[in-house]
Amino acid sequence: MAQEPSKIEALAGRRVLLVVTGGIAAYKALELIRLLRKAGAGVRCVLTRAGSEFVTPLSLQALSGDKVYSDLFSLTDESEMGHIELSRAADLVVVAPASADFLAKMAHGRADDLASTVLLATDKETLVAPSMNVRMWQHPATQANLATLRQRGVRFVGPDDGDMACGEYGPGRMAEPAAIQTAIAGYFAQPRPLAGRSALVTSGPTHEPIDPVRYIANRSSGKQGHAIASALARLGAATTLVTGPTALADPAGVTVRRVESARDMLAACRDALPVDVAVCAAAVADWRMAEAAAHKMKRGDQAELSLRLQQNPDILAALSAAGNQRPALVVGFAAETERVVELARAKRARKGCDWIVANDVSAETGTFGGDDNTVHLIAGDDTETWPRMRKQDVADKLAERIAERLGAAAEPS
Ligand code: C5P
């Protein structure tokens, strides 16, 4: 396969930690090492016990020019390079081939050998090239593991459709070494215009206690806020995500602070300052109990009950008015069901933020809790209407706009 020279060049000087697990495709890892080294990358290998049934440590060592690590409890290995350091010294962790069993281990956070321990301990991104029988690939258990890992930000290349060593045909064959090399190069070639910048993102709902067992909440899924944190981190920003309770996994490469109430969220946001950009995507509860009950409230005999509520702090407005701690760019969201742009413009002025991302959340749009979003970006007097797109894509586009804006602000006038 012909390679784009500009992308392949991105491999020069990079360090790849290659985890080789048990599968017939393990022999292709040898060719992958050769390609990576030819392009100037350093490769260090971790071999699982099952992997060593298919390739020998000696061949991996000969091609990588480095010691091969396989034993979690080896005194010599640990004294030379402990499993934590091994997991952090690389720029990217690549698992090729990744067996169904190893994907399951990754998804469940198991750490019973060196390879899985390294995966759990790493602070680097992970690229996985699955390799397995078509039925194992299609099994709901594998697909569920895959979905979990994707949600955590793990990247995948392949598998391809094709004839398998077991005589069956279908998806499951490991991507070719050249395709894996391209995916690795693509990762390193990604622009990082926000490197050296810091970002704060709020996400999810807040829970406001009524009594020790009940709370006021809303239906926010946190999908949009989490996707924004992930997108900003991918562009290189040191990103803190302050999130209310959600069912979502922590995005890769992001510092996550979990909170419950609006007041906790505000405190966590203040702790994260100073930052260059703050994006408030959380659906903060407007109200909390004026006084939450210390004990579970009893039903009693009365037919009605009134709760006395008190307004919560407005986090977006507070960050916009944070004096010398104010982020250079403060972005809010406005969920409206009518006159979307007009109301969002008024909100921008009221809150004192720089940009508002206005979205139509009327019931027929399915935005709340769904995967798609239709938004307008209101930046000063300019309004851009973006086509309906996935929340992930809204996040990427917004992160790009933020990078452009911060980049322009940094240029000497
Ligand atoms: O006023 P409204 O809730 O519609 O404003 C939405 C915007 O304000 C969102 O960016 C949301 O994250 C933010 N907000 C906040 N704190 C609140 C209420 C809203 O940060 N208490």
Cα–Cα distance for residue pair 256/129, rounded to 1 Å? 27
What is the gyration radius of the CA atoms in the chain, in angstroms? Answer: 25
Q: Which atom of ligand 1 is nearest to the CA of 315?
A: 20
Catalytic-role residue among 45, 166, 269, 353: 166
Cα–Cα distance for residue pair 332/315, rounded to 1 Å? 10
Q: Which single residue is written with the structure tokens 């979502």?
A: 248
pLDDT of the chain, 413 residues: tens digit per residue = 444 556 899 999 999 999 999 999 999 999 999 999 999 999 999 999 999 999 999 999 999 999 999 887 776 666 667 777 888 889 999 999 999 999 999 999 999 999 999 999 888 889 999 999 999 999 999 999 998 888 777 899 999 998 777 778 888 999 999 999 999 999 999 888 998 899 999 999 999 999 999 999 998 899 999 999 999 998 989 999 999 999 988 887 788 999 999 999 999 999 999 999 999 999 999 999 999 999 999 988 889 999 999 999 999 999 999 999 999 999 999 988 889 999 999 999 999 999 999 988 876 776 666 778 889 999 988 999 999 998 889 999 999 999 999 986 665 43
Does 105 show up as a binding residue in the annotation? Answer: no
Half-sphere exposure of 223 (CA within 13 A, CB side): 15
Q: Which residues of 331-363 are buried (b: 16+ CB within 10 A; e: fewer)?
A: bbbbbbeeebbebbbebbeebbbbbbbbbbbee
Q: Which CATH superfamily is domain 5-189 in?
A: Flavin prenyltransferase-like (3.40.50.1950)
How does strand 309-311 pair with strand 255-258? unpaired
Question: Candidates 203, 320, 331, 333: which one to mutate for ligand 1, based on the most atoms within 8 Å of Cβ?
Answer: 333
Q: Which atom of ligand 1 is nearest to the CA of 316?
A: 20
Cα–Cα distance for residue pair 35/29, rounded to 1 Å? 10
Q: Is the pTM of this model over 0.85?
A: no
pLDDT score at 1: 47
Cα–Cα distance for residue pair 160/330, rounded to 1 Å? 43
| Cα–Cα distances in angstroms (integers) from residue 373 to residues 224, 301, 360, 388, in the given order | 9, 46, 8, 6
Q: Which atom of ligand 1 is nearest to the CA of 285?
A: 21
Annotation marks residue 269 as catalytic: no
Does 7 show up as a binding residue in the annotation? Answer: no
Domain boundaries, the chain: 5-189, 198-410
The domain made up of 198-410 has a fold known as Rossmann fold (3.40.50)
Which residue type does 395 have? A
Helix 100-108 vs helix 140-151: crossing angle, to nearest 10: 50
Residue with CA nearest ligand 1 atom 5: 334
**Fold: same for 5-189 and 198-410:** yes
Q: Whose CA is closest to 19, among 84, 87, 75, 66?
A: 87
| Lining residues, ligand 1, CB within 6 Å | 202, 262, 280-282, 284, 312, 314-316, 332-334, 347
- Cα of 343 vs centre of ligand 1, distance in Å, is 13
Burial class (CB in 10 A: 0-12, 13-18, 19+), 271: exposed
Question: Candidates 203, 351, 373: which one to mutate for ligand 1, based on the most atoms within 8 Å of Cβ?
Answer: 351
Does 314 show up as a binding residue in the annotation? Answer: yes
